[in-house]
Structure 1
Amino acid sequence: MRPADRAVVVLLALVISALALLLVAGHGPWAGRQIFAFDVYHGINTGDVPVLLMWAASMCGCGYLLFRRD
């Protein structure tokens, strides 16, 4: 993989991670019930599950692109 392509994949992984963090950190009306509590005000809600699953799939795709042998 060319260095420019590698930089694009790493940048894409960072952007996807930042967006996922913003979505998980938000407290909207669609957050759902709390599944796991870190403290009284923070935890993992049912609305966070799709975001975390999409983040994991995106990271798998970025990892594939980053480490594949051409």
Structure 2
Amino acid sequence: MTQRRVLAGFGAGCLSMLAFICLAGHERPGTGPTLLRITDTHGINRGDLPVLIIWGLGLLACLLLSREP
């Protein structure tokens, strides 16, 4: 299997997992304490970290795939 196919599968898996976590609603990891306050009522919570990490990995796979061979 080529490296590009592995990266494509990895990226698809990451983005699918991200979609599942986002669509799961209340079933996603608990919000936990606020790590970065954006406004008085909004911010980045510990429960947001899995979503952000998976999103970043998916973007990295897309970036690697977009490079010329």
TM-score, normalised on structure 1? 0.55
The Cα of 1:29 is off from its aligned counterpart by: 7.8
> Tell me, which stretches of 5 or more residues in structure 1 are unaligned?
1-8
Structure 2 residue ranges without an equivalent (≥5): 1-7
Runs of 4+ in 1 over 6 A off after TM superposition: 26-29
What is the aligned partner in structure 1 of residue 4 from structure 2?
none
Q: CA RMSD in A?
A: 3.0
1:44 aligns with 2:8: no
Instruction: Figure out how many residues of one structure are paired with residues of the other and give that number.
Output: 52
1:2-59 CA distance string (max 9 Å, x none) = xxxxxxx8xx8xxx5xx67xx4xx7878211101101111100001111111111110
- Percent pairwise identity: 36
Matched to 1:44, the amino acid is: I
